[in-house]
């Protein structure tokens, strides 16, 4: 979910894993999109202490 969220926000993501199962899960992030309701629900979790800054 987080990988998909970042992709939809046009944030460059470089996932790292040596585990084949997780690598396949990462590729599956391109098979779906989060809905507007999903994005709203995720945004409501924001406590303002993140490490991603918009320029």
Nearest to 1 by CA among 23, 24, 32: 32
Note the pLDDT tens digit of each residue in 16-42.
999 999 999 999 999 999 999 999 999
Q: Is the pLDDT of residue 52 over 70?
A: no
Write down the pTM of the prediction. Answer: 0.70
Question: How far is C-alpha 22 from the geometric centre of its chain's CA atoms?
Answer: 14
Report how far residue 19's alpha carbon sits from residue 21's, in angstroms, rounded to the nearest whole number: 6
Top pLDDT among 8 and 46 is at: 8
Angle at alpha carbon of residue 46, lines to 43 and 49, rounded to 5° = 150
């Amino acid at each position: 979910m987080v990988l998909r969220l970042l992709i939809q926000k046009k944030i460059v993501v470089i996932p790292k894993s040596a585990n084949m199962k997780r690598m396949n899960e990462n590729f599956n992030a391109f098979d779906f999109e989060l809905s507007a309701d999903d994005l709203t629900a995720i945004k409501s979790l924001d406590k303002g202490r993140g490490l991603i800054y918009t320029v």
